[in-house]
Amino acid sequence: MIIIELKCNFCSEVVGSFQFHEDTPQEKIDAAVSQVADSRCDSCEKQHGNYKEMADRFELETGLSHEEFKKIITESGGKKSSFETLLEAKKAELITSEKDE
């Protein structure tokens, strides 16, 4: 059995795991693990925010794609406070570009 642990992005606490049979192709393992966008323990989620809530808010408030959200969340280091700042900047940028049209 192959066990791959999922660790919190901030403190490295184990928050889950994947289990694969020994004969599972590496491509299948990589594909499954790559589907995990973000993993946070409860403590770090309270401190840094919930990934899904931030994604939903971003898409609702900007109308932009999840791909755009991933760029912003990467820039913010996954931290809610930095995300909030970048979200407000993105919204201001969108308002400015709408006025220019």
Query: What pLDDT, on the 0 to 100 scale, is given for residue 101?
Result: 63
> Exposed (0-12), middle (13-18) or buried (19+): which is 75, by Cβ within 10 Å?
middle
Query: What pLDDT, on the 0 to 100 scale, is given for residue 21?
Result: 92
As a whole number of angstroms, the distance between CA 2 and CA 19 comes to 6
What are the extents of the domains in the chain? Answer: 1-47, 49-101
For the whole model, what pTM was predicted?
Answer: 0.68
**Triad 95, 38, 70: Cα angle to 5°:** 25
Give the distance from CA 25 to its chain's centroid. 26
Low-confidence ranges of the chain (pLDDT < 50): none
Q: Are 90 and 72 in contact (CB under 8 A)?
A: yes
